[in-house]
Amino acid sequence: MILKKSWTLPTITIVCLSCVFGLYWAAASRKTFRLPTTTSPPKRIVSLAPNLTEILFALGLGENVVAVSNNCDWPAEAVSRKKVGTFWQPNTEAIIASKPDLVITLRFEQQKAVADTLNRLGYKVLTLKVEEIEELFTAIQKMGEAADCIERAEKLAGSIRKKTNDLQSKYGLANKVKTLWVVQVEPLRIAGRSTFVNEMLELAGGENAIGPTIGQYPQIGTEELLACGAEVIIQSAMGASNIDRQQQAAESFWSKFAALPAVKNNRIYVVNPDTALRLGPRLPEGIEIIARCLHPDTAMEKHNVALQTR
Amino acid sequence: MAEFLTPKNLVIKIVVCSAVLAVVMCLCALVGTQRISLENVLAGPGQGPGENTDYEIFVGVRIPRVILAALAGAALACAGVILQAILRNPLADPYILGISSGAGLGVIIAVLSGITWSFWAGSPITVFAFAGATLTVWLVWYIGHLAGKSQVTSLLLAGVVINAFFSAVIMFLTSILKSHQLRSTTLWLMGNITEKDPSVLWVSAVCILAGILGLFSICHRLNVLTFGQEEAKGLGVDPAKTRFAAFGLAAFITAIAVSLSGLIGFVGLIIPHAVRLVFGPDHRQLLPVSAIIGGAFLVIADTVARTIVAPAQLPVGVITAIAGGPFFLVLLAKYSRKVSWLK
């Protein structure tokens, strides 16, 4: 060894680092075992997803919501709440700084990492999976339990269920309309059968024009598209603004597939994704928007439908 | 080089760099989207959560994150030094032998299978990324060896081909992922530092530091190896053994770094070159200094990533590439006449 002496330095560094780490670890793990101090209903709630925020406000807990994600834009009051990062990358610091006594997150990797950190620090975190319509009702129930308002939760869940059932009996029994739900045009991506969009389509009396696929929102080719025989095309807008312009763009895009019944009969609708694609208390409104696109005769004229979808 | 590397000289350089790293870590821990006061932090934890948020943010969020960034940066920079040396290729970085795609494949399999168990407080993503990286490295090494004596070229080729193949598999799997899973994987593939459990941090810190120490102990052999295989043999250094040890350790620390923070590009490529340009090519100095500078660089990059678009955050890989590229070009323009590559 040429540089034997230099061994002492890394060794000392390692020992020092070990001490720092050890101390830090001990401090952190001591905190882990601390029990939540409050048992009263939460007064300061943080929500990390738009649909969870909507549920909280629908449960009448809006007053107690202190911070929301940047993507939470409904109801209007939610916009004025403190922002704690995006839905995809919540900011742990900002969440802690808003001193929550309940944090509600969705169950996927990014939010789970945040939930773990908060749990470790002793915060109360409720993690929910809301990917199917049935899970929405479970989520409302669990939020009601966590926020100590079970009765209101049951009432809310009941009213959403009733409205949904009413819509189903109004539109769901008619002839199934073959529908293509487009999430992106270049490349063409559509909602497959294992999505909640598909559930909404079926409740609104539609049928997915594309059969079972491997992916949830698969990319499809022109051949498949021309063979699917879609009678209606519903396209979710990119953002809630400029829907008129997006409608025109969609019509000109689809004009090259004139063989499709939907294009031939000019039944292309661009809908606002914030209303139609959010698994929250506005679910019945979403279903109704879809139903009006699918069954304009049962609802009203196409022109009005287009206005209503905005 | 102008001066001969003496132990004293080296120790002084390491101490100065470590001090810089310590200062950088402290400053970065005090910077964030929330304004916190040092006074409140020093007051210690309150009675319950929410009592002293400054302390919780500092100890529970920022310190683990700064430590993680420093560890990942040090590991990647060291692995870059080693791979550039043993492959004798200035374009080599820690990912050149397939670690990135192997770990990426592991992550996608973890996400796709929806496994939720955790192993020693490591999330499934961490565990699968580590397993994927290690298996890929083993495969590359094995195939590279099969091809015969001229190991370096066949190793590189095996690495590049396995990288391409696994990337294709990743593409296929991402096309069938659910949308929110896809987003998680994309963030991971761009390099994303988050807060980790202290025990995970602790274990990986020990592993990475041990790996760096191990590499440091064979640095003089790497110096000899850069003269060429035959010359190294003549000087009593077994090229095959040295290469195996260096490769194994570099792969090990890269796998840990990758499994903790995703694919952070650029650190492993530019930090070794930058240090070589400024301090010279002697590996006994290049390796420790690169480790420290790499750590400091990633700590700063992560601090920028978590504050610049506050309260949202950016993946740290974006910052390392945007900030590192021009910085490196400036260094290159300034120093390149003085040094020739990998002498």
- What CATH number does the domain containing B121 carry? 1.10.3470.10
**pLDDT: which is higher, B45 or B330:** B330
Share of chain A above pLDDT 70, in %: 83
Question: Is A9 inside any structural domain?
Answer: no
Share of chain A above pLDDT 90, in %: 13
Q: Looking at residue B4, what is its pLDDT? A: 63
Question: Is B204 inside any structural domain?
Answer: yes
Co-location of A112 and A141 in the same domain: yes
B291: pLDDT confidence band, cut at 50, 70 and 90? very high
A33: pLDDT confidence band, cut at 50, 70 and 90? very low
Per-residue pLDDT tens digits for A197-230: 888 888 888 888 888 887 778 888 888 888 888 8
Q: Out of A90-99, B172-181, B198-207, pick the least confident.
A: B172-181
Nearest CA in chain A to B29: A93
Co-location of A211 and A249 in the same domain: yes
Per-residue pLDDT tens digits for B33-84: 888 888 888 877 777 777 788 888 888 888 989 999 999 999 999 999 998 8
- The 3-state secondary structure of chain A reads CCCHHHHHHHHHHHHHHHHHHHHHHHHHHHHHCCCCCCCCCCCCEEECCHHHHHHHHHCCCHHHEEEECCCCCCCHHHHCCEECECCCCECHHHHHHCCCCEEEEECCHHHHHHHHHHHHCCCCEEEECCCCHHHHHHHHHHHHHHCCCHHHHHHHHHHHHHHHHHHHHHHCCCCCEEEEEEEECCCCEECCCCCHHHHHHHHCCEEECCCCCCCCCCECCHHHHHHCCCCEEEEECCCCCCHHHHHHHHHHHHHHHCCCHHHHCCCEEEECHHHHCCCCCCHHHHHHHHHHHHCHHHHCCHHHHHHHCC
A11: pLDDT confidence band, cut at 50, 70 and 90? low
Q: Looking at residue B260, what is its pLDDT? A: 85
Share of chain B above pLDDT 90, in %: 19
Q: Out of A107-121, B142-156, B285-299, pick the least confident.
A: B142-156
Residues of chain B with Cβ-Cβ distance to A187 below 8 Å are: none
Q: Which residue segment(s) compose the domain that B79 sits in? A: 19-342
Q: Looking at residue B296, what is its pLDDT? A: 95
Share of chain B above pLDDT 70, in %: 91
Question: Is B169 inside any structural domain?
Answer: yes
Q: Looking at residue A110, what is its pLDDT? A: 76
**pLDDT: which is higher, B157 or B196:** B157
Q: Looking at residue B153, what is its pLDDT? A: 81
A9: pLDDT confidence band, cut at 50, 70 and 90? low
Co-location of A140 and A168 in the same domain: no
Question: Is A249 inside any structural domain?
Answer: yes
Chain A closest-CA separation from residue B207 CA (Å)? 11
The answer to whether residue B143 scores a pLDDT higher than 80 is yes
Per-residue pLDDT tens digits for A35-83: 455 567 888 999 999 999 999 999 988 888 999 988 888 788 888 888 8
Co-location of A291 and A168 in the same domain: yes
Q: Out of A50-59, A161-170, B87-96, B292-301, pick the least confident.
A: B87-96
Contact between B187 and A214 using a beta-carbon 8 Å cutoff: no
Cα separation, B22 vs A147, in Å, equals: 44
- Region B220-231: mean pLDDT is 82
Q: Which residues contact B325 (CB under 8 A, 6 or more apart)?
A: B266, B270
Co-location of A187 and A128 in the same domain: no
Co-location of A125 and A192 in the same domain: no
Average per-residue pLDDT for chain A: 81
Q: Looking at residue B1, what is its pLDDT? A: 43
Contact between B61 and A109 using a beta-carbon 8 Å cutoff: no
Question: Is B13 inside any structural domain?
Answer: no
Question: Is B1 inside any structural domain?
Answer: no
**pLDDT: which is higher, B105 or B194:** B105
The answer to whether residue B161 scores a pLDDT higher than 80 is yes
Question: Is A7 inside any structural domain?
Answer: no
Q: Looking at residue A289, what is its pLDDT? A: 87
Contact between A28 and B60 using a beta-carbon 8 Å cutoff: yes
Co-location of A143 and A165 in the same domain: no
Question: Is A177 inside any structural domain?
Answer: yes
Question: Is A304 inside any structural domain?
Answer: no
Q: Which of residues A118, A148, A178 is at a domain's end? A: A148
Question: Is B213 inside any structural domain?
Answer: yes
Cα separation, B299 vs B316, in Å, equals: 10
B219: pLDDT confidence band, cut at 50, 70 and 90? confident
Question: Is B173 inside any structural domain?
Answer: yes
Q: How many domains does chain A divide into?
A: 2
Q: Which helix (H) or strand (E) holds B292?
A: helix B283-307
**Does residue A122 belong to the interface with chain B, where contact is any CB pair within 8 Å?**
yes
Q: Looking at residue A303, what is its pLDDT? A: 44
Co-location of A184 and A291 in the same domain: yes
Question: Is A28 inside any structural domain?
Answer: no
Q: Looking at residue A34, what is its pLDDT? A: 47
Q: Looking at residue A302, what is its pLDDT? A: 42
**pLDDT: which is higher, B287 or B238:** B287
The answer to whether residue A285 scores a pLDDT higher than 50 is yes
Question: Is A40 inside any structural domain?
Answer: no
Identify which of A25, A101, A216 has the shortest CB distance to residue B50.
A101
Cα separation, A193 vs A202, in Å, equals: 10
Question: Is A15 inside any structural domain?
Answer: no
Nearest CA in chain B to A84: B311
Q: Looking at residue B289, what is its pLDDT? A: 93
- Tell me the whole-structure pTM to 2 decimals: 0.81
Identify which of B202, B213, B311 has the shortest CB distance to residue A91.
B311
Specify the residue for token string 């210690």: B44
Question: Is B9 inside any structural domain?
Answer: no
Co-location of A63 and A167 in the same domain: no
Per-residue pLDDT tens digits for A253-277: 888 888 888 888 888 898 887 777 7
**pLDDT: which is higher, A163 or B123:** A163
Q: Which residue segment(s) compose the domain that A205 sits in? A: 161-298
Contact between A25 and B209 using a beta-carbon 8 Å cutoff: no
The segment with the largest mean pLDDT, out of A159-173, A238-252, A295-309, is A159-173
Chain B closest-CA separation from residue A261 CA (Å)? 28
Question: Is B11 inside any structural domain?
Answer: no
Co-location of A194 and A286 in the same domain: yes
B-facing residues of A in 35-94 (CB < 8 A) are 36-38, 44, 70, 83-86, 88-89, 91-94
Q: Which neighbouring-strand residues pair with A208?
A: A179
Co-location of A186 and A282 in the same domain: yes
Which of B4, B57, B123, B199 is the best residue to mutate to test the A interface, defined by the most A CB atoms within 10 Å of its own CB?
B57
Nearest CA in chain A to B62: A93
Residues of chain A with Cβ-Cβ distance to B198 below 8 Å are: 24-25, 28-29
Co-location of A175 and A292 in the same domain: yes
Nearest CA in chain B to A114: B195
Q: Looking at residue A35, what is its pLDDT? A: 47
Q: What CATH number has the domain bearing residue A84?
A: 3.40.50.1980
Complex prediction ipTM = 0.76
Q: How many domains does chain B divide into?
A: 1
Burial of B166 (0-12, 13-18, 19+ CB in 10 A): buried
The answer to whether residue A286 scores a pLDDT higher than 50 is yes
